[in-house]
Amino acid sequence: MLAYNIINDLEILCTNRGEILIFNFIGCEWKGRMEDITNHMPQCLFADGNVPGWYATYMKSKEKEYEEQELKDDLLVMRLYIKPLG
């Protein structure tokens, strides 16, 4: 019983958390006790691809902008840390 209580008191993240894609992450930000996840999952907006349409559209619209910024950042790092040959 003690082990059960210890495990259920651990803070966990929603399994629909997603990943960092564009400027921030896409997915559920829920954090809570393990025993509370069963109440959260049926209500999770990000369960089984239930991402709100407006959010998916917004994130898709920022995709090109994000890729361009990432390329600029990569080029800057190359200029700062890679010494020219010769």
Tell me the mean pLDDT per 10 residues along the chain, length 86.
80 77 66 89 79 74 80 80 65
The residue ranges of every structural domain in the chain are 2-81
What is the distance between the alpha carbons of residues 75 and 37, in angstroms, rounded to a whole number?
43
Closest CA to 13 of 44, 38, 34: 34
Alpha helices in 1-86 (DSSP H): 2-8, 37-40, 53-61, 63-81
What is the distance between the alpha carbons of residues 19 and 26, in angstroms, rounded to a whole number?
6
Q: What is the pTM of this model?
A: 0.47
- Residue keyed to tokens 């997603």: 18
Q: Hey, what are 6's tokens?
A: 């210890």
